[in-house]
Amino acid sequence: MSTWLLLFRKEMLESTRNYKWIWIPLVFLLLGISNPVTTYFMPQILESSGVAADLVPVPTSVEIMAKSLSQYGTLGLLILALSFMGIVAAERQSGSAIMVLVKPVSHRSYILAKWSGMTVLTLAAVGLGQLGTWYYTNILFESVPFRLVWTSLLVYALWLLFINTITLFLSCLMKSVGGIAFISLGVAAVLAILTQVLDHTMKWSPSRLTGAASQILLSGQGGGDMWLAIALTIAFIAALLAGSVTASRRMWTKS
């Protein structure tokens, strides 16, 4: 436990030094506030381009917030995958992973510290983004109850954490960092498409969480299948973490 804490603090220090703790939350904040801001200016934009503003209906506050959440699933996911792709692979290549693991440090604490670092940073980033969206929506449009804001955020964040864990797992398995980001995003895209096409058989899919999060905002309820998807996503994350520990151990003995 104490080695985990030590490694976790080292991880935090490193993300502060390479400015990850500043730029990722700030970019998520921008992603979050861009949607209410553009919606606010939409009538003026339409007017200046010659379209009658009343032709386009003004979305409600919860619709604006639901659309902001989906931004994290596209651009946000891309940013997370690109910034975490080298989390283990790059350390192994530069040799700093060996410097850590040659000491009496278990692979489990090493991987768990990495994962916790990613998780805390991701939650802080989407949390800040969501607060920004909420603030702007409240000022420019009607107010949204805070209960919906944080519950939808937690459900959505679980989907991002799931993809993060895939990135970590691949980072333990593969050498090419570009390939790691590409496959993680590919898995996210394929899962999202399959879940839409096979709507009935994929009730357990982690990608359901994105839809459930917007449902929470729009109707106050995540739908009956939400808890199944949440439970399975947590199980998948645990399995992927166990896989990462095994993969890390195997790569260690191989090299």
Residue the block writes with tokens 């607060």: 131
Helix (H, G, I), strand (E, B) or coil at 134: helix
- Per CB under 8 A, the list member of 8, 115, 134, 136 interacting with other proteins is 136
Query: How is residue 135 annotated by DSSP?
Result: H
Residue type, 235: A
**Do you know the residue count of the chain?**
255
Q: How far apart are CA 227 and CA 235, in angstroms?
A: 12
Task: Supply angle C-alpha 226, 134, 208, rounded to 5.
Answer: 20
Task: Give the residue ranges of DSSP H helices in 174-225.
Answer: 177-197, 208-219
CB of 102 to other proteins, least distance (A): 20
User: Among 1, 2, 17, 55, which residue interacts with other proteins (rule: CB under 8 A)?
Assistant: 17
Tell me the one-letter amino acid at 239. Answer: A
Toward other proteins, which CB reaches closer, 29 or 188? 29
Smallest gap from residue 27 Cβ to other proteins (A):
6
The answer for residues whose C-beta is within 8 angstroms of residue 207's C-beta and 6 or more apart is 159, 188, 191, 192, 194, 195
Q: How far is the CB of 225 from other proteins (least distance, A)?
A: 34
Residue number, 46 or 154, with CB nearest to other proteins: 46
Q: What is the DSSP letter of 72?
A: I
Q: Interface with other proteins includes 18 (CB under 8 A)? A: yes
Identity of the residue, 180 or 229, whose beta carbon is nearer to other proteins in the bound complex:
180
Binding mask 208-237 for other proteins (x = CB under 8 A): ------------------------------
Query: With respect to other proteins, which residue has the nearer C-beta, 45 or 189?
Result: 45
Q: Does 86 bind other proteins (CB under 8 A)?
A: yes
Contact residues for other proteins, defined by CB under 8 A: 14, 17-20, 22-23, 26-27, 29-30, 33-34, 37, 40-41, 44-45, 48, 79, 82-83, 86, 90, 94, 136, 140
